């Protein structure tokens, strides 16, 4: 069973460093989403891709954040000049579409980022 995978699972970095996370969606899913979840909160939407096109970005996605999905398969999320407030779980999800609508999203295990 090839679900959504994310790497690394944990990342500890010093403030000011750049970090990059990878997400591999379920292979036949053309939509891919990034979320951020802080302690005690539900996930917050960051951005999503339809194939290789980035279609929507939340205002939570500051200029220090960039996401790519170059070939419409895996995606990367990069955070530049990390700040302590970036410490969170970063979740990736994918979904199929039918008739232009997406349905349930399947989530990966997440990458937990700690900025010291």
Catalog residues that contact other proteins under the rule CB under 8 A. Answer: 33, 35, 40-48, 55-56, 58, 89, 91, 93, 102-110, 112
In Å, what is the CA distance from 53 to each residue of 18, 84, 114?
24, 30, 29
Of 46 and 115, the one with the shorter C-beta distance to other proteins is 46
Of 93 and 115, the one with the shorter C-beta distance to other proteins is 93
User: Can you tell me the distance from the alpha carbon of 28 to that of 15, in angstroms, rounded to the nearest whole number?
Assistant: 37
């Amino acid at each position: 069973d090839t679900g959504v995978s994310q790497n690394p699972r944990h990342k500890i970095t010093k403030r000011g460093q750049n970090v990059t996370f990878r997400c591999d969606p379920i292979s036949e899913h053309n939509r891919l989403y990034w979320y951020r979840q802080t302690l005690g909160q539900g996930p917050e939407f960051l951005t999503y891709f339809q194939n290789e096109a980035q279609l929507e970005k939340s205002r939570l996605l500051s200029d220090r954040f960039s996401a790519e999905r170059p070939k419409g398969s895996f995606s990367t999320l990069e955070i530049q000049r990390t700040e302590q407030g970036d410490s969170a779980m970063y979740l990736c999800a994918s979904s199929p579409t039918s008739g232009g609508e997406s349905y349930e999203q399947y989530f990966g295990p997440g990458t937990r980022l700690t900025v010291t």
